[in-house]
Chains A and B, each alone.
Chain A
């Protein structure tokens, strides 16, 4: 209980410091989010999201494995694993096509980082999951359909 109290205090202090900085005009919310590709996450079509996140929407199908359940009972938590044998992969994007904003997440890989990423996403309804990889400047994609019983985006 005591440790939770510490965390709470630390959390409020940290938020407070940032809040003061924002209030003082030192940081505007836009600088806080400077690197976050807002347009890509707000785009409501697959093509717009790809153009914004990866610079192009022309992609060919590549050797990409998407591991996800065929049927997800709870759309709020859908485990997704994207893996590929492609070399020279610099970017991975995971999109749920039927979501209002299809882009769920994008990843920049360092040198020596494998073309592998696993996370859990929210899905509003049954949809294709599209994984797009950028390797040597080209885009490659893989698709898998996930059926959703209960959507996980709204209330």
Chain B
């Protein structure tokens, strides 16, 4: 199962994308009950491509909320096209998913 849940719906030529990613987004400032710092762990980059064309690149800092939500809109796609969404975090972990525009 992917860590990304994404929906892409086209209406009047504009594709509306809504995505939810499950990720802890630790700032590196919080402490656990023993007083130890919880190390920073957050997504640094999210990329969206449609038919191999760049749609949006997000650079994120630790100030994006846990289990991040991202929504954006773009023109020039058709129903049935594939949107690819991927993320990378500060530990080098990553995930990618594809969704068909409906």
Residues of A within 8 A of B (CB): 3, 6-7, 11, 14-15, 18, 22, 27, 29, 32-33, 35-37, 40-41, 53, 76-79, 81, 96, 99, 101, 103-114, 116-123, 152-155
Contacts and interface: CB of A to CB of B under 8 A. Distances in A.
A36 B44 CA distance: 7
B31 A105 contact: no
Instruction: Specify the main secondary structure of chain A where it touches its partner.
Output: mixed
Contacts of A18: 91-93
Contacts, number: 132
A53 B59 CA distance: 10
B46 to A, nearest CB: 9
Contacts of B56: 107-110, 113, 117
Given A32-B92, A155-B30, A105 B73 contact: no
B102 interface: no
